[in-house]
Amino acid sequence: MPDRKYSFEVNRTSSAPAATLFRLVTDGGNWSTWAKPIVVQSSWARQGDPAPGGIGAIRKLGMWPVLVQEETVAYEQDRRHAYKMVGVSPVKDYFAEVVLTPNPAGGTDIHWTGSFTERIPGTGPALRAALGGAVAFFAGRLVKAAEQGAMH
């Protein structure tokens, strides 16, 4: 049986400018300041170009002993951030993308999508619910942090 692919999508709107949202989502070292309780620890395994969160950057997120590593594969300033999971993962070929689009109200529309292939047959639906739920949580926390001006 071929590996089955799953995807999810989360849409949110923020009154914050795209630049603020982009800065928060691409700064892997500071996710723990706004993505709790799922992300208690966040750091850089490797910085990218441009530093720190550009192409090739790897952020480590989670709570010890479960830290996922995500590598930045697309970095379009204030518009688009895409990443893939690297290292040990419950899924194969995980890819996610955050697209930020200024809207007529003066805020930003957030379109966050993800896809993966199940590693163990039959686990896809539960993992889609878990990963999609986590991204929905992150999107909500991202909006809240950006609108509160949570940058240091």
- Report the predicted TM-score, pTM, of the whole model to 2 decimal places: 0.94
Residue among 4, 2, 1 nearest 125 (CA): 4
Structural domain boundaries enclosing 115: 5-26+70-147
**Structure confidence by residue, pLDDT tens digits, 90-137:** 899 999 999 999 999 999 999 999 999 999 999 999 999 999 999 999
- Domain membership of residue 89 (yes or no) is yes
**Tens-place pLDDT, residues 24-79:** 999 999 999 999 999 999 999 999 999 999 999 999 999 888 899 999 999 999 99
Distance CA 123, CA 4 (A): 10
Q: What are the Cα distances from residue 23, in Å, to 16, 123, 141? A: 11, 33, 14
Q: Is 127 helix (H, G, I), strand (E, B) or coil?
A: helix
Does residue 12 sit within a domain? Answer: yes
Residue 58 resides in a domain: no
- What pLDDT was estimated at residue 150? 47
**151 pLDDT exceeds 80?**
no
Residue-level pLDDT at 20: 96
CATH number of the domain where residue 102 is located:
3.30.530.20
For residue 59, being part of any structural domain is answered with no
Gyration radius from the chain CA atoms: 15
Q: Is residue 57 part of a domain?
A: no
- Please report the beta strands in the chain, taking only residues with DSSP state E, as ranges in sequence order: 5-14, 41-46, 58-63, 66-76, 80-86, 91-102, 108-118
Counting the structural domains of the chain, the total is 1
Q: Would 126 be classed as within a structural domain?
A: yes
Burial 90-117 (b: 16+ CB within 10 A, else e): bbeebbbbbbbeeeeeebbbbebbbbbe
Alpha-carbon torsion (59, 26, 74, 3), positive or negative: positive
